[in-house]
Amino acid sequence: MDKCKPLLRVFRVARIFRLIPKAKGLKKLFQTLLYSLPALGNVGSVLFLFFFIFAVMGMNLFGKIKFTTGELNRYANFEEFYWAILTLFRQGGY
């Protein structure tokens, strides 16, 4: 029975999609969500562009700083692009 619980939860969420055509307010809300998806892609692209620019700037400005203890460590630094993006993402509150 424990293995079936996640499957049952999926069916409970799927009930909401069955109610969409019947409820006018829910239908309008769902249509608005679908119409806004392309704009969310544009916003995400611009956000990634900002992260990319600031990661490269961080690598140029702070890439040679040696880290010991404190804010810069093995997992939060600007030595490599991967860690620079993750550091910005983490400091950005995402």
Q: Which residue has the higher pLDDT, 14 or 55?
A: 55
Give the chain's mean pLDDT: 84
User: For 19-50, what is each residue's pLDDT tens digit?
Assistant: 777 778 888 888 898 899 989 999 999 999 99
Alpha helices in 1-94 (DSSP H): 5-19, 24-62, 81-91
Could you give the CA distance from residue 38 to residue 64 in angstroms, rounded to a whole number?
40
**Is 67 exposed, middle or buried, given 0-12, 13-18 or 19+ CB atoms closer than 10 A?**
middle
Number of domains within the chain: 1
Q: What is the CATH number of the domain that holds 68?
A: 1.10.287
Domain extent at residue 25: 5-91
Q: 7-11, 36-40, 47-51, 89-93: which has the minimum mean pLDDT?
A: 7-11
Given pLDDT bands bounded at 50, 70 and 90, which one contains residue 55? very high
Question: Percent of the chain beyond pLDDT 70?
Answer: 95
